[in-house]
Amino acid sequence: MKNIIRIVVIAVITMFAASAFAYDGKNEAIQKEMTQIKQRLAELEKITETNKSNESAEIGRISDKIALNGIIAGAYQYESAKDRPGAKDFGRGAVPIQLELSIKPTKNDDVFLKFGFGAGNGLNTDDHSFALAPWAASLEDDVRDINGRNRDYLLAAWYKHTFDFGKDHTLGITGGIIDATDYLDDNKYANDEYTQFMNEALTNGPNTFLPSYDIGGAMEWEMEKLSLRGVIMQLGENDEGKAYQFYGAQIGYTIDTPLGEGNYRVMFDTTSDDFSDPDGSDTEALKCFIISFDQELGDILGAWIRFGWSDDKAIVHFQDLYSGGINISGKLWNREQDNAGIGCAYLKGGNQEIETSKVAEAYLRIGLNEVFSTTLDLQYLKDNHKIGADDVKGWISGIRMTAEF
């Protein structure tokens, strides 16, 4: 019996060895086929994502040359602050609406109009206990008498011509009523107050003084992975009622890594000498230098930072900014249309009453379909003043509904 068992065991081992030997001969071919299959799946995934993007863009298309798009967002936020004398708990909502008309008469020409309307200012009022706006959207007061121009609701109106110099090499020139944030200080994971972070410290750098909705011109030069952007604007008035000029430039580079795509940018902006110095005896220019990086870390995670340093010769509320965070794709829970973000910011005060400000924010965005999404948002804020009795800290919770078409 033992001999029979030994014979059977030896036979089985011999069969496995023979199979393994035969497989070794085909191993290289099988691995090659598997690699080709993986590459094809990756290509199909990119095609699917492109089709989804095109379907979303087609929602507002009127013809092959005209498209009407826009965004409608509604948010309710509740603030709970303590330590500050007179601080109170309260909640408010707001509904900003932005409508965009795009006209493309030729392949290289674009005409763009944006109109903004708002119902309510949410927590962005004098009752708000903190130095930073809890929602960086353009609300009711932001779209009236824009920059002292006695113009309401018309946010942007520009014409752009694009020069083609070959494959992946273009130069775009834009002129009209523009928004500097459309060209400068962009970030893949922290730049959209309607679908990403809500607090202004995590949307753009509060110390960058990027103006919006006024007369100016922009240049966009793209050559493969390198980009250069420049913005010049003439503003109707600042907080002191003075007209001034704005100048900004940004250089960016896109890299492909084994983990995914990364975007790395450096920006410098300044103004004319039309801002009062702290003692009011002279006028100075605002100046700021900022870096903004975002990097994919595989299919699920993405990381970002935004660091900025500004001059304090003129009156500035915030001088330095250090912010960063992560983005989590809904692929983690098998819902590609969802995403979550966690971010924090530390701001060093300038030459006014703020010593430091700290912000931490987390949100979960749930995509309902190609148009609608819902976001649950939670912020923690802490302001330290140079007069300690005015220090304040607290929480802001909110829910945001967004429709993009």
Counts of helices then strands in the chain (DSSP H, E)? 1, 18
d(CA 319, CA 289): 11
pLDDT at 318: 95
Beta strand 214-223 with 169-178: parallel, antiparallel or unpaired? antiparallel
Q: What are the two backbone dihedrals, phi and then psi, of residue 212, each rounded to the nearest 5 degrees?
A: -135, 150
d(CA 137, CA 192): 9
Q: Cβ distance 367 to 361 under 8 Å?
A: no
Buried/exposed code over 163-186 (b: 16+ C-beta within 10 A; e: otherwise): eeeeeeebebebebbbbbbbbbbb
d(CA 53, CA 391): 46
Lowest-confidence pick of 17-31, 79-93, 143-157, 228-242: 17-31
What integer is the mean pLDDT of 152-163? Answer: 97
d(CA 249, CA 288): 11
d(CA 72, CA 70): 7
d(CA 355, CA 3): 88
Residue 126 binned pLDDT confidence (cut-offs 50, 70, 90): confident
d(CA 98, CA 402): 11
d(CA 43, CA 37): 10
pLDDT at 22 over 70: no
Please provide the average confidence, as pLDDT, over all residues in the chain. 88
